[in-house]
Amino acid sequence: MQKLFSVPDTDGYYGEYGGAYIPEMLFQNVEQLKEQYLDIMSDDSFKNEFNALLKDYVGRPTPLFHAKRLSEKYNTTLLLKREDLCHTGAHKINNTVGQVLLAQRLGKKRIIAETGAGQHGVATATVCALKGLECIVYMGEKDMQRQQPNVARMQMLGAKVIPATSGSKTLKDATNEAIRDWINNPIDTHYIIGSVVGPHPYPDMVARFQSIISQEIIAQLSSEYGVKSPTRVMACVGGGSNAAGAFYHFLDQPNVEIVAVEAAGHGVHSGMSAATTQLGVTGILHGSKSIVMQTSDGQVVEPHSISAGLDYPGIGPMHAHLFSSGRGVFMSATDEEAMKAAFEVSQLEGIIPALETAHAFAVLNNMKFGKEDLTVICLSGRGDKDLSTYMSELKLKQS
């Protein structure tokens, strides 16, 4: 009986999506988490430690920046929520700080994680170093090549990076390896999932940790603009954690428009895409029922996106529900459009965004804005990790 868009029912369902579809070997682990996460998160000592680390370690609150030149171009007001200014360069660390503190309270000594672009791996390695915990990160072999700076950062932080060599050698395959590790080490290990995916309670837990993003947006809109809510909030969606965080406190306010942007790769119908809601059907992936890109006999389709963080054939169950209920507007941007948007944001605002983030900006051209609208865009991360991809585009332009 779930009526809110922001929280699932007690079994972890958002509408028809969610739940916990797990092998029996993981049952105890997931059950322990499910029984304890809300109690731990509402405990005062947990909240104090979490908030103190968000402030002094992560550097929150992150600014809500009025992008004047970009606003002028689209004849409206665009406000950028600067998650790129978080320690380690993306929103991912909000969740890893929370989950590491939670893992400690569950008595876990060993942390595993999957990573796509490497931002979640770096954030996990960072907080594990801070807390003196062993850290193992699974990463697709292809992603290790296209995100080399992040591989080096994880290694410098003392984490072990293990390549996933199956399938498309990207995020889906890294997730499979992490789940396999967890099954083999169910007692001492906590698996830090990096997005609002996986079996219940992960999607809800990660959304709650990331909800600090919209909590701050509300306070900033009130003090800086004298309003309670924006016209719309926009974010890119891989699994959907930065979007969940940016949307969270607005989901149950029907007057706020929710815009999610997926990666269309070479084009939605090109066969090289990661636009899950456009191509997927109801299915089960990595422990939850959601919308999944799969063949008619249930084989997961290999996705494609130029951005490693969006190169995933699924989407979190909250977003599947936002899509199928019509609460959210779902759009997509191709590799080429994202690349163009990355250069536009860099040269109009002096902010080099992550390739993932650039997808959220790439659809501005296709939207209609009112002059008086206030649009918040979640600037999920910075683009340092993508410089080699950006450089090859520069060379192409020059030749």
Ligand X SMILES: *Cc1c(COP(=O)(O)O)cnc(C)c1O
Site residues (CB under 6 A) for ligand X? 90, 92, 117, 119-120, 195, 236-243, 309-310, 354, 356-357, 380-381
For the CB of residue 262, give the shortest distance to ligand X in the complex, in Å.
Answer: 9
Q: Specify the residue, 62 or 380, whose C-beta has the smaller distance to ligand X.
A: 380
Q: How far is CA 303 from the centre of its chain?
A: 17
- 3-class secondary structure, 305: coil
Work out how close the CB of 310 gets to ligand X at its nearest, in angstroms, rounded to a whole number.
6
- At position 383, the amino acid (one-letter code) is G
Give the nearest residue (CB) to ligand X: 381
168 among known catalytic residues: no
Q: How many CA atoms lie within 13 A of 139 on its CB side?
A: 32
Is the Cβ of residue 104 or residue 113 nearer to ligand X in the bound state? 113
Query: Distance between CA 342 and CA 380 in Å, rounded?
Result: 13
- Beta-carbon count within 10 A of 185 CB: 16
Kindly state the smallest distance separating residue 395's Cβ from ligand X, in Å.
Answer: 24
Residue 82 tokens read as: 């600067």
Of the residues 34, 83, 114, 289, only one is catalytic, namely 114
| Residue 309, both tokens | 């963080």
Which residues are registered as beta bridge partners of 13?
A: 18
Min dist. Cβ of residue 309 to ligand X (A): 3
Beta carbons of 388 and 115 less than 8 angstroms apart? no
Complex with ligand X: residue 311 or 344, whichever CB lies closer: 311
CB of 25 to ligand X, least distance (A): 26
Contacts of 36 (CB under 8 A, 6+ apart): 105, 106
Minimum CB separation of residue 58 from ligand X in Å reads 14
Note whether 177 and 137 are within 8 A (CB): no
Active site residue 92: yes
The rounded distance, in Å, linking the Cα atoms of 393 and 395 is: 5
Beta-sheet strand order (sheet of 134-140): 160-164, 134-140, 110-115, 189-192
Residues β-bridged to residue 80: 65, 377
Closest to ligand X by CB, 34 vs 92, is 92
Look up residue 1 and give its two tokens. 């009986």
CA–CA distance, 366 with 74 (Å, rounded to integer): 10
Separation CA 129–CA 127 (nearest Å): 5
Provide the token pair at 137.
């990160």
- Specify the residue, 176 or 210, whose C-beta has the smaller distance to ligand X: 210
> 76 or 198, CB closer to ligand X?
198
Coarse DSSP helix, strand, coil percentages of the chain, rounded to the nearest 5 percent: 50, 20, 35
The reply to whether 114 belongs to the active site is: yes
CB of 289 vs ligand X, minimal distance in Å: 18
| Candidates 6, 229, 290, 380; catalytic one | 380
Question: At which residue do the structure tokens 């080429």 appear?
Answer: 336
Nearer to ligand X, 120 or 172 (CB): 120
- In the set 6, 34, 83, 92, the catalytic residue is 92
Strand partners, 381: 90
The residues annotated with a catalytic role in the active site are: 92, 114, 380
